[in-house]
Amino acid sequence: MSTFKPGLVHTPVTPFKQDHSIDYDTYAKVLEFHIRNGADALALPMPEGEDMSLTDPELRKLLEFALKQVKGRVPVIAHASDAGTSIAVERALHAEAAGAAAIVSNPPYFWHPKASMVVEHLVRIGTAVKLPFYIYNPPVESVGTTLSTEIVLDVIKRVPNLAGVVDASLDFVFMEEVMCNGRQLRPDLQLIAGGDFMVSSGALGGTGAFSPLSAIAPRLARSLFDLCRKNQFIEARDTQESIGTLNHAIKSAGESGLRDGLAGLKVALGSFGRECGIPRPPVRGLGEIERGRLLEELAGMTFLKAEPRGW
């Protein structure tokens, strides 16, 4: 199987203009920022890139744009997820042809199919391409299907190019079971933290991370990642707590029922001199009071002092 190891993966936001169209000039700056600030790879557009709010043509164009801008300096992992299996398969094929380094896919959005159907959905995407394939377990609070250990084991058995699981469920039991049972079937199966909670994942043998907060605090995320790669989990606790504090402030700002933090993330980016507009509807931007509260909290986070301002 592939030896592709993504390392610390940054997951860029998608900037929008006032009229909600994609702001490609700013997107180029976003990508350059991540490459300059320690991304081993990029994955896009992940939930922080508002993949669900983009149309199919936009998703394809965005990926092509990113690949052209990045020019092979770091691998780009393309996110191909949708409610319908054939739509997701086509998008994955497009990403492969366009030059992505790997594919990552969610279980189908919206539907709550039986486990065997989730397996079928993921197997169809994974076997359609030759690239390393990652499956993504969404956060526990998200709406739709999540992965069970059994689903993962079935996908491993049927998809020879399955490289690993990106876990955003943050569920200790899932991570344990996938590592101990999955590695019996595929000894080099990778566990990738689907978020900036790298200590728990790393302690269980995880080797990579998809890091949304690298958009704000790339130095902190890099330092946390490096400590975990060196098995210094106890020493990593302080840094993990700092990242946790930042995560909490961003996710709890605003009215999103999912606490997805999209609006908070863009406000925080603006306050660091990297204006990326507001999220697309139906996500609401922050009101003035919420915005003020978040900015005040960010200003109180002394651990952010060393982080880069501007582009």
Partner 1 sequence: MKNFNLHGVMQAPVTPLKDDFSFDGEGFAKMVDFHVRNGAPAIAWPHHKAESLNLTIAERKLGAEIAVKTVAKRVPVSIFVGTLSEEDSLDIARHAQKIGADMLLTISPYCRRPSQEEIYDSIVRIGTHTELPVLTYNSPWRNGEGVEFTAELTKRLIDRLPNYIGMKDASFHSEKFLEISRVALKMRPGFAIIQGVEHLLAAYPLGACGSFSSSGAIAPNLCNKFYKSLVDRDWETARDCQFKISRLWRLFKEQYPSSLKGAMIMMGRPVGPTRSPLPTATKERVEFLRTQLEELNILQTEPHGW
Q: Pick from 247, 260, 261, 269: which binds partner 1 (CB under 8 A)?
A: 247
We find the least distance from the C-beta atom of residue 142 to partner 1, in angstroms, to be 11
Using the rule CB under 8 A, is 189 a contact of partner 1?
no
Both tokens of 154, joined, read 């079935």
We find the least distance from the C-beta atom of residue 177 to partner 1, in angstroms, to be 6
**Contacts of residue 165, Cβ cutoff 8 Å, sequence gap at least 6:** 134, 135, 136, 137, 147, 152, 178, 182, 189, 190, 191, 192
β-pair partners for 22: 16
Site for partner 1 in 131-160 (CB under 8 A): 140
Q: Pick from 233, 272, 303, 311: which binds partner 1 (CB under 8 A)?
A: 233
Q: Pick from 20, 68, 86, 172: which binds partner 1 (CB under 8 A)?
A: 172
Instruction: Answer whether 81's CB lies under 8 Å from 47's CB.
Output: no
Q: Compute the distance between CA of residue 143 and CA of residue 113 in angstroms, rounded to an integer.
A: 13
Size of the site for partner 1 (CB under 8 A): 31
Chain center to CA of 288: 28
Name the pairing type of β-strands 76-79 and 190-194: unpaired
Using the rule CB under 8 A, is 203 a contact of partner 1?
yes
Using the rule CB under 8 A, is 262 a contact of partner 1?
no
Using the rule CB under 8 A, is 199 a contact of partner 1?
yes
Amino acid identity of 219?
Answer: R
Q: Which residues bind partner 1 (CB under 8 A)?
A: 140, 169-173, 175-177, 179-181, 195, 197, 199-201, 203-205, 231, 233-234, 236-237, 240-241, 244-245, 247-248
